[in-house]
Amino acid sequence: MAIVDTHAHIYSPDEKRYPTIAKPLRVPDGKGSLEDLRAVSKANGVERACLIQVSTFYRFDNSYICDSALASKDWTAGVCTLDPDDTHSPDLLKHYARKYGIKGMRSIPARGGKLDHPGVRALWKSATEEGIVINVLVGREKEAEVGTLLAAFPKLRVVLDHCMNIKHGADLEPTLAAVKRLAKYPNLHAKLTFLPTGSATGYPCADMHKPCMDVIAAYGPDRCIWGSDFPNSLWTPKVSFAEHLRIFQKDLPLNTAQRTAILETTAGKLWFGGR
């Protein structure tokens, strides 16, 4: 199986070439570079990865993502993040796609809190024109706005980042319900990265198995994808890269066809031309 990791943040050790924001959120063990990701990917049989811009380290400076995506285009797809309040962002997205081969954009609400905002719509329009995949990062309070945008851009391929952060506790059922309602939009895909981040326990995150299977049932495995949350020492400290992958390879009650779709073919079609 040609496993695809759809959610890996990367951090350059060269902070002179790639300056950080003030007070960046750092990786505890310092193992977050593109080279570190390549090593852990190879060790776990992961062949391809989506490189996700990390706003808590670089904010809207996508230099490291762009350079890394270009340098490793044989096995990665770059996913940038752009400011919806900056009128230059739509053209910058086109530039990133054409010069660096950027394949995705993480979409966030505008500064005032609106997702259905002219700046967001302009970015989604550019993404449609360039064949860019949108990763929309919002909580369940944005369900209606996500639906409005999905209906307005039916040809745009969109991924629901972290499935609105489904997590154990009182908010689990309302968030899960919102994620499932959005499944009616055929251009929306579910990123199943919330098991270790949403679980009240460590591996195998058993309290998140049923919610995950519910999402898979709502979307179908052909619209579901896995991501590691690399570097796991920062983003999933109770669950390692290998353990997170093992949940989908062994622990969830999935058949072979479902596992193949979630770990390989769906992501391959979205970012890697179906390879």
Report pLDDT for 274: 59
- Is 66 a residue whose pLDDT tops 60? yes
List pLDDT tens digits, range 8-46: 999 999 999 999 999 999 999 999 999 999 999 999 999
| Alpha-carbon distances, residue 133 vs 17, 202, 235, 246 (angstroms) | 28, 31, 23, 26
| Alpha-carbon distances, residue 21 vs 18, 46, 106, 107 (angstroms) | 10, 30, 18, 19
Residue 183: phi and psi, rounded to 5, are -65, -15
Q: Which band of pLDDT confidence, cut at 50, 70 and 90, is reported for residue 1? A: confident
Report pLDDT for 175: 98
Angle between helical axes of 118-130 and 143-152 (0-180°, round to 10) = 40
Is the pTM higher than 0.95? yes
| Alpha-carbon distances, residue 268 vs 50, 91, 194 (angstroms) | 10, 26, 20
CATH architecture of 3-271: Alpha-Beta Barrel (3.20)
Domain boundaries, the chain: 3-271
Q: Which band of pLDDT confidence, cut at 50, 70 and 90, is reported for residue 275? A: very low
Q: Which band of pLDDT confidence, cut at 50, 70 and 90, is reported for residue 210? A: very high
List pLDDT tens digits, range 121-179: 999 999 999 999 999 999 999 999 999 999 999 999 999 999 999 999 999 999 999 99
Give percent of the chain above pLDDT 90.
99
Report pLDDT for 122: 98
